[in-house]
Amino acid sequence: MDSETQRQQIGNSLKITTEIFGSCNADYRILGSVLLVAYTNRVFRRINDVDILLDIKTKDCVFEKLKNNGFQFEPKKVAGFSWIEAKKDQHLGLTFFLVGEFRKEYFTWRFMKFFELRIRAEYLHPTEYNFENVKFIGIPISSAIAGIRQSFLNPKRKMDKQILENEVNKSKVKIYNNISVYIFGVKLPYLYDSFSFLYNIYGGIRVMFGKKYEAWD
C-alpha cells in the first residue's frame, strides 16, 4: 500500500473518529504510530490501526455512533487483558486499548475484578496534533518516546526511534513508573515496568526466530 493511500486512510479514520468524540463530548487520547505520523507529517511505515484511550462515561455514545457509521466491533482478550476493536472498509481499525476513567491525577482502568491500572495524568497530558487538516488529542511526544525506549527490541519501535532520532537524543524523559498496577487500592511497585521489560526480552526472542514481536497479533 502506497503512502498516499495510507494518508487518506489515516485522515478518514481521524476525521470520523474525532467528529464522533466531539459530538459525544468524549475525553480521549490517541496513541501509537498515528501520533508519530502526525508529529512528523510522514507515513514512514504501514499503519494498521488507531490506538485509543477513552473515558468510560462516553463509551455508549461513541460506540453507538461508530456502529451507525458502519463500524463493526469485535472484543479481544489475551491472558486476562481485554480490549475492543472496530473496523470499517477504507478506514484504519480503531483499537480501544483502554476504556476507563480520566481523573485529576491519573487515568484508571480496572481488570480481573480486583486489579487496577493507573497512568499518570502528566504522561497523558492532552496534546493537540494535526494530520490532513484534522486536529486530534494525543499524548506528549516525550511520553511516546518513553514507550519507544521501554520497548527497544520491538522492530516497530526501532523504526519509530530512527524517525524521532533528534527528539530521542535530546529529550529527557521519565521511562519508568508512569504506569502502575494496584490491587485492592494498594500499589504494586514497578510490577508493570517489570512485566514490560520481561515481555520486551520475550518479544525480541520471538523476532529472532522469525515470529512477530506481539504474541497476540
Mean pLDDT of 59-80: 92
Cell of 121: 495524568
Mean pLDDT of 5-27: 95
- Helix (H), strand (E), coil (C) string for the chain: CCHHHHHHHHHHHHHHHHHHHHHCCCCEEEEHHHHHHHHHCCCCCCCCEEEEEEEHHHHHHHHHHHHHCCCEEEEEEECCEEEEEEECCCCCEEEEEEEEEECCCEEEEEECCCEEEEEECCCCCCEEEEECCEEEEECCHHHHHHHHHHCCCCHHHHHHHHHCHHHHHHCCCCCCCCEEEEECCEEECCHHHHHHHHHHHHHHHHHHCCCCCCCCC
- For 3-208, give the CATH class: alpha beta
Cell of 39: 508529529
Convert the pLDDT of each residue in 28-63 to its tens digit. 999 999 999 999 999 998 898 999 999 999 999 999
- For residue 79, pLDDT over 80 is answered with no
Mean pLDDT of 60-80: 92
Q: Is the pTM of this model over 0.75?
A: yes
pLDDT for res 1: 57
Domain extent listing, the chain:
3-208
- For residue 203, pLDDT over 60 is answered with yes
**In whole numbers, what is the pLDDT of the chain averaged over residues?**
93
pLDDT for res 14: 96
Residue with cell 480503531: 94
pLDDT for res 112: 82
